[in-house]
Amino acid sequence: MVHPARFELATPGSEDQCSNPLSYGCVWLQPFYHSINFSAILSAMDIHTNIPLKNYLTMKLGGTTRFMTEVFSVDNVKQIVANARTQNLPIFVIGGGSNVIARDETYPGIVIRNRIKGFEIVADDAMTTTIKVGAGEIWDEIVKKTVDMNLSGIEAMSAIPGTCGAAPVQNVGAYGQDVSETFVSLEAYDTQNDQVVTLTNDDCHFGYRSSIFREDQFNRYIILSVTLQLYKASPKPPFYKAIQDYFDTHNITIYTPQTIRDTVTTIRSEKLPDPKVKPNSGSFFKNAIIEGWLLKELLETYPEMPHYDMGDKRYKVPTGWLIEQCGFKGQLLHGMRVNPANALVLINESAGGYSDLAAAREEISNQVRDTFRISIEQEPLELK
């Protein structure tokens, strides 16, 4: 049964920091920028100037952006892109700010906060339900909604911060599920051709924590909505060890999207610092993917090295383990704390800015490379 369209766009409103230009230091265009002509869009949208990015990024560091605005509709997106092009200003879209790092210098363009809402069931059959969600919806709220509907497919990705539009960018994943497995398509505004396009799963070239949106088509598309096909069947083992261990300890033998969600939420709250309390961007490094020959050589020296077959003669080696072996777990480096519970996460305890974070990143990645001959890669995108 196909449900009637319920895909509504939110009206600009009250929910958070920058929607009121009087709050949080948001101001209308200031005299210095009067040469920039946003008059065509000022009537419809709030454009704010000189906004400290740390207020919008969970790592809580970095400089300011010259302009910031929120988009609530495709029309908002079109207006902003057209005006930014006229003024020759770069644009950068953020969602929840949980996977983006800002540098210390002022960003010279417009940061767009994606607030496009919507939740619609677009297809429903005996086995599956397909949903279309606005890119500005909060990811975990949508996971909760689908779990409440007893649908399976994204429940292991519970409690990941950020928005739905950000999920395909890095092909978000956790505990054995990743977005590409349920992803059908997305709608995006193509800033190169000025049109709304639909991109299929194949078009997105999903890989391990990667897609075209963070690789060769970086900053080309503004994601408007995401369509996912979820399953009515219950989740089945084998589960990741951490989940199975929790089930065993708590005598859980009936596996539902809800039991997986509850388990993952509990495990994550124990292992991962809450960004509202301890500023961080989740996993700061991607897990390493290495060739079989290198793994073989390394296992001779480090027989206990954990590794997972990627099915293409390459192996995933947990970067948290590599960092821990180098002695960094729990250490404070340039104001960044290597999380004592999970060395993949860096916590901004007292960093003076991006330069401190970069120094910590270099120290860790150089040591990992010198010890294991493995280059590790930063997971969060950089605003540039």
Binding site for ligand NAP (CB under 6 A): 160, 172-175, 240-242, 271-272, 282-283, 287, 308, 316, 318, 320, 342, 344
Alpha-carbon distance of 133 to 142, in angstroms, equals 8
Min separation Cβ 306 and ligand NAP, Å: 6
In the complex with ligand NAP, the residue whose CB is nearer, 105 or 382, is 382
In the complex with ligand NAP, the residue whose CB is nearer, 197 or 305, is 305
Q: Which residue is it, tokens 């089930």?
A: 247
Cβ count near 127 (within 10 Å): 9
Cβ count near 332 (within 10 Å): 14
Distance between start and end Cα atoms, the chain? 45
In the complex with ligand NAP, the residue whose CB is nearer, 160 or 357, is 160
Q: Which amino acid is at 169?
A: V
Min separation Cβ 97 and ligand NAP, Å: 13
In the complex with ligand NAP, the residue whose CB is nearer, 134 or 173, is 173
Min separation Cβ 343 and ligand NAP, Å: 9
Q: Which residue is it, tokens 């349920």?
A: 182
Alpha-carbon distance of 98 to 278, in angstroms, equals 12
Are 274 and 210 in contact, with CB atoms under 8 Å apart?
A: no
Q: Where are the beta strands (DSSP E) in the chain?
A: 48-52, 64-71, 91-94, 100-102, 107-114, 119-124, 128-134, 173-174, 177-178, 183-190, 195-200, 221-231, 280-283, 288-291, 308-309, 314-317, 332-333, 336-338, 345-348, 381-383
In the complex with ligand NAP, the residue whose CB is nearer, 47 or 336, is 336
Min separation Cβ 136 and ligand NAP, Å: 19
Min separation Cβ 219 and ligand NAP, Å: 21
Q: Nearest to ligand NAP by Cβ — which residue?
A: 282
- Whole-angstrom CA distances from 372 to 156, 295, 308, 333, 369 are 31, 10, 17, 20, 5
In the complex with ligand NAP, the residue whose CB is nearer, 18 or 345, is 345
Of residues 283, 270, 281, 267, the one with CA closest to residue 318: 283
- List the catalytic residues: 209, 283, 379
Alpha-carbon distance of 370 to 316, in angstroms, equals 19
Min separation Cβ 234 and ligand NAP, Å: 19
Min separation Cβ 53 and ligand NAP, Å: 19
Are 342 and 319 in contact, with CB atoms under 8 Å apart?
A: no
Of residues 165, 142, 140, 170, the one with CA closest to residue 222: 165
In the complex with ligand NAP, the residue whose CB is nearer, 93 or 267, is 267
For 228, phi then psi, to 5°, come to -125, 140
Q: Which amino acid is at 202?
A: D
